[in-house]
Amino acid sequence: MNQLSNLSITLRQRPVGIPNSDNFSLTSSPVGEIEENQILIKVIYLSLDPYMRGRMSDVKSYAEPLKIGEIITAESAGIVIQSKSEKFQPGDYVCCRSGWQEYFISNDKDPMTYKVNPDLVPLSTYLGVCGMTGRTAYFGLMKEAMPVAGETLVVSAASGAVGSIVGQIGKQIGLNVIGIAGGKKKCDYVVDELGFDECVDYKSDSFHKELESAVPNGIDIYFESVGGMVTEAVSKFFNEGSRAPICGYISNYNAKDLSKVKTPFHIFGAMKNPPKHKFFLVFNHYASFDEANEYLINGVKSGTLKYREMIEDGLEKAPEYFKWLFTGRNFGKLIVKVSDI
């Protein structure tokens, strides 16, 4: 019988605006027994991502909202510590959709539970550049935008987990890459470390003029992650035949009245000649996951794909860390270290 105790974080009440600690509950309960074809996973790293905010609201979306009392949705990386499966053995490292908790029992047929190899790249990167984040960047640019060498790509949230990878891939395939980020520190990182051609600070008083100067030949591809005033500014410079894959629009996620939000769909829809645009999901390209994984892992191993992680300790502090995604405090991929390897 398991003697383990599992700390988990559940939704206590739906957030209004930016989430706070009152919206969550910490619960400790015994770890259950695994059954045939199941495995018990000890979570080591937990991914924090903006999409989780949408799941906390009771609004229509591509995924069902969380129920009150339900464990917060999240992907994690961990190690198998018990197995009644022929597919997994104790000691195997895996990624899984555990949610915000210390232990997770998974069915071995769950497609979201799969082996990873920390001898190839660090385990934490399977939640970022070599995981769902990196695949989102890869598919959003390569499959949704269909880039052509020589085109101009503008990337919002360019220093972030997804945007930083989008821009680097863009440079590797011959695009002129312009980033948009908040503050000099992040803009310098985007140009000096990641190799973008330019980066415009959306916090600058002269943001609109600097953006216009950065795209003298207009914009062919805009990778959307932000929305709001950034999208409105970018929309003035689209070329004919432009594309705008929509990964998200984080500036709107904490709106108190979503019915009054001006989303990228509203902004593009009001244009006379809007870019080709749609909201895409990484799972739309599930059949090509191996292709993306190989590209991303090889990029990290060779050093041609640079990444930045912000790893913070303690599952119980996840609600506080989560707020950082919406205040600009995080820099790079935000990960919680739940336990030691």
- Which residue range(s) make up the domain with 19? 5-128+308-337
Residue 143 pLDDT: 97
DSSP for residue 31: P
Phi/psi for 268 (5° steps) reads: -70, -40
Contact in structure between 333 and 127 (CB atoms under 8 Å): yes
**How far apart are alpha carbons 199 and 64 in whole angstroms?**
36
Beta-carbon contacts of residue 277 (< 8 Å; ≥ 6 apart): 224, 243, 244, 245, 246, 264, 265, 268
Q: Give the pLDDT mean for 146-161.
A: 97
| Cβ-based neighbours of 7, under 8 Å, separated by 6 or more | 26, 27, 28, 101, 102, 315, 316
Inside any domain, residue 155:
yes
How far is residue 270's CA from residue 231's CA, in Å, rounded to a whole number? Answer: 12
pLDDT of residue 213: 98
Q: Residue 140: name the closest of 81, 229, 224 by CA.
A: 224
Residue 256: is its pLDDT beyond 70?
Answer: no
Domain co-membership, 77 together with 114: yes
Whether residues 150 and 73 share a domain: the answer is no
Q: How far apart are CA 247 and CA 236, in angstroms?
A: 20
Q: Report the predicted TM-score, pTM, of the whole model to 2 decimal places.
A: 0.90
Q: CA angle, 312 as apex, 20 and 309 as ends, to 5°?
A: 115
Query: Is residue 302 domain-resident?
Result: no
pLDDT in the model for residue 253: 65
8 Å CB contact between 95 and 74: no
Domain endpoint, select from 268, 283, 298: 283
Tens digits of per-residue pLDDT, 3-21? Answer: 899 999 999 999 988 999 9
Residue 89 shares a structural domain with residue 196:
no
Read off the pLDDT of each residue in 81-103 and give the average, rounded to a whole number. Answer: 98
pLDDT tens, residue by residue, 172-193: 999 999 999 999 999 999 999 9
Pair of tokens at residue 301: 């191993």
Is residue 291 domain-resident?
no
The confidence score (pLDDT) of residue 25 equals 97
Amino acid 254: pLDDT: 65
Please indicate whether residue 121 or residue 63 has the higher confidence score (pLDDT).
121
Same domain, 61 and 148: no
In the predicted structure, residue 252 carries a pLDDT above the cut 90: no
Q: Which residues contact 148 (CB under 8 A, 6 or more apart)?
A: 220
Rg (CA), the chain: 20
Query: Given a cut of 60, is residue 152 above it in pLDDT?
Result: yes
Q: What is the mean pLDDT of residues 239-253?
A: 88
Residues 152 and 198 grouped into a single domain = yes
Kindly state whether residues 140 and 118 are assigned to the same domain: no
pLDDT of 60 reads 65
Q: What is the CATH number of the domain that holds 221?
A: 3.40.50.720
What proportion of the chain, given as a percentage, has pLDDT over 90?
Answer: 84
Q: Which residues contact 265 (CB under 8 A, 6 or more apart)?
A: 246, 277, 279
Domain tally, the chain: 2
| pLDDT computed for residue 306 by the predictor | 97
Q: Indicate the average pLDDT of the chain.
A: 94
Q: Which helix (H) or strand (E) holds 264?
A: helix 264-269
Question: pLDDT tier at 260 (50, 70, 90 boundaries)?
Answer: low
- Residue 264 falls inside a structural domain: yes
**Beta carbons of 137 and 147 less than 8 angstroms apart:** no
Please indicate, yes or no, whether residues 100 and 144 belong to a single structural domain of this protein: no
The CATH number of whichever domain residue 36 belongs to comes to: 3.90.180.10
What average pLDDT does the segment 255-266 reach? 74
Q: How confident is the model at residue 62, as a pLDDT? A: 61
Q: Which residues pair with 214 in a beta bridge?
A: none
Confirm if 168 and 192 have CB atoms less than 8 A apart.
Answer: no
On the question of pLDDT at 251 being above 80, the answer is no
Domain for residue 72, yes or no? Answer: yes
Does a structural domain hold residue 274?
yes
Is the pLDDT score of 2 beyond 90? Answer: no
User: What is the model's pLDDT at position 255?
Assistant: 61
Which amino acid is it at 24?
F
Question: Which CA distances in Å does 88 have to 41, 270, 279?
Answer: 11, 52, 35
Between CA 74 and CA 325 the distance in angstroms is: 14
For residue 224, is it within any domain? yes
- 172 with 271, same domain: the answer is yes
Q: Are residues 147 and 260 in the same domain?
A: yes
Spatial distance between the Cα atoms of 26 and 6, rounded to a whole number of angstroms = 10
* pLDDT over 60 at 1, yes or no: no
Domain shared by 244 and 313, yes or no: no
Confidence of residue 327 (pLDDT cuts 50, 70, 90): confident
Over the stretch 155-174, which tens digit does the pLDDT of each residue have?
999 999 999 999 999 999 99
Strands (DSSP E) along 86-137, which ranges?
Answer: 93-96, 103-107, 114-115
Query: Quick one: pLDDT at residue 257?
Result: 61
In a domain, 168, yes or no: yes
**Shared domain check, 274 and 141:** yes
199 and 102 inside one domain: no
7 by Cβ neighbours in 10 Å (0-12 / 13-18 / 19+) ranks as: middle
Arithmetic mean of pLDDT, 55-65: 77
- The share of the chain scoring above pLDDT 70, in percent, equals 96
